[in-house]
Homo-oligomer: A and B are copies of this chain.
């Protein structure tokens, strides 16, 4: 039997083709709707939406660099008076100002990354031309020394790197690298990669352990994992060293942020350091704290560097933080960050369903983290969470129309409360159009666009299958290549077939993840294989030639309860089927769903159901509706609770809020 020989690697998208019908329509939604819509948004051409100003800012920065010689119409007049983040001093003509959030540059980077993933799978010369032109605008905005953050270029270059905590120069660097690497890998064009390298070089000039350099680190993490990627692509150790420096410097005392910012008596330690995960050196951190997106982006970077430098201490920290999140701070949907105040982790087992935050981007970050943990140690607990995030938060974060999005992913919604209760105004009962702070939609686009890269990892002699979907992959062996063609009925049925084709017989290992919900699987086609289960993977080693594995994961309906320390779920249960979390909606179950009660002994049935244009599997069971207790006054003598029979209907959580505004709940009394 074979087992993991250490590190496995993510497979390049060039060797992958997603064929899955379920996911393909999501990818095509990104291709046909999200990316074009996003490009209009970047250029402030979406009617009734808050302008992005992203491309505007790059153009203004380019003009400042004098790379632009009076090109007509290069900068459009700005039709707005409500610009934000306008620099207080140094007044400029309206069309030469910076507009938008300090991190507005990253809108482009996320877009180009999604474009790159799409171009790999669907060549499109027109889109590539648009992308190349956009890259040209960004290229011109770069300063001679490589610096590239339009907020400071436009407003006051002398102030750069003076507010790492709150401003986003290094965040923008991170996204620029991610976009540039993806575009380079997709097209082979290195113009944007050059821009990213020069900006990274400029940052490396200013940050590091040497005297005279800044001993700082990003206020919003992402540069860490981006630099690991840049190192992988370029082989330049200075990028690895810079990323590792950021990782190592974070949380050291005296706090870098304290040197930047005068201490404020009103600010407590939590707000000041935990928000940025800068309260302790990363290797000493044991609890996931602060802004959830920042946290999981950091942990992803830590995992990258633990792998790249074989740093066991760093790896152990990653494992601790992973377990802290998944065992104490994660909603059943995969949502993380339970409070909107600071978009942050709350405390262990504090998982309110209705005042929840659970930002879409945080779940996307959790997928990045999971992928990196899988590279280090193939354990199905990581892939299980990746799958949970994908089929629930990621899918649910985008409307079936591709132009509406959830930032906050609640598990219980009463629309009246969202509208009338200020404590819940961050919870929206319907998906929203593009936001000024457009983090989640482009993050969804780049994730969905690259979903194929999360399915496998590989070592020299092993292919790990972490997710099941229709996909084709080629693996080079020493003298031969293997073609793997997977088909799957996920998420509606658990049937998977994996066809393995080699020119000549080749001995290697295929390691199949056994999902936590599908341990009673059946498998055919392994007659001559050595089989062993380890850490939730079934390792199958044999001489493969032309084989078909047939696996059947039982997609049984699971009624689940939460650890009893989760107060909000006491006496309640939730329903899953395979990787899909289910919820009840008012459209099927009527109003006042808090009156509903599941029957412990009910039998469940599935049925196909149309939600908007989507065909899903719904679940039905007999249950109870508590008779309304209404009497004189609000409070009255308790009477034995009476219930009447009712049918309960659940639909996949991801499909909620596609039928107008109504109540929704994941957890129901039992």
Contacts and interface: CB of A to CB of B under 8 A. Distances in A.
Interface string A472-513: 000000000000000000000000000000000000000000
Interface in A630-656: 630-631, 633-641
Nearest to A581: B635
A416 B638 contact: no
B417 A628 contact: no
Contacts of A626: 564, 570-571
Nearest to A558: B637
A93 interface: no
B634 A328 contact: yes
Nearest to A351: B634
A350 B420 contact: yes
Interface in A325-367: 326-328, 330, 332, 339, 341-342, 346-347, 350, 355
A421 B346 contact: yes
Interface in A561-615: 561-567, 570-571, 573-574, 592, 594-595, 600
A233 interface: no
Interface string A659-670: 000000000011
A629 interface: yes
B633 A350 contact: no
B669 A635 contact: no
B573 A594 contact: no
Nearest to A325: B634
A414 interface: yes
A422 interface: yes
Interface string A394-437: 00000000000000000000101100111100000000000000
Contacts of A639: 561
A560 B635 CA distance: 6
B423 A423 contact: yes
B421 A563 contact: no
A319 to B, nearest CB: 15
Interface residues of A, number: 55
Contacts of A669: 570-571
A1 interface: no
B339 A423 contact: yes
Contact of A421 (B347, B600, B630): B347
Given A423-B341, A570-B626, A332 B560 contact: no
A638 B347 CA distance: 24
Nearest to A575: B638
A130 to B, nearest CB: 35
A341 B422 contact: yes
A637 B350 contact: no
Interface in A95-133: none
A559 interface: yes
A563 B560 CA distance: 29
A8 to B, nearest CB: 24
B561 A638 contact: yes
A421 B634 contact: no
Contacts of A600: 638, 640
Interface string A211-255: 000000000000000000000000000000000000000000000
Contacts of A559: 637-638
A640 to B, nearest CB: 6
Contacts of A594: 567, 570
A410 to B, nearest CB: 14
Contacts of A561: 629, 635-639
A423 B422 CA distance: 11
A341 to B, nearest CB: 4
Contacts of A592: 564-565
A568 B240 CA distance: 52
B332 A641 contact: no
Contacts of A634: 326-328, 330, 332, 562-563, 566
Contacts of A595: 564, 570
A184 to B, nearest CB: 40
A342 B422 contact: yes
A575 to B, nearest CB: 9
A215 to B, nearest CB: 31
14 contacts: A326-B633, A339-B421, A346-B420, A346-B421, A347-B420, A347-B421, A350-B421, A560-B637, A561-B629, A561-B638, A563-B629, A564-B592, A565-B592, A565-B628
Given A326-B633, A565-B628, A574-B635, 19 more contacts: A328-B634, A346-B421, A355-B423, A558-B637, A560-B637, A561-B629, A561-B635, A561-B639, A562-B629, A563-B631, A563-B634, A564-B592, A564-B626, A570-B626, A571-B571, A571-B641, A571-B669, A573-B638, A638-B670
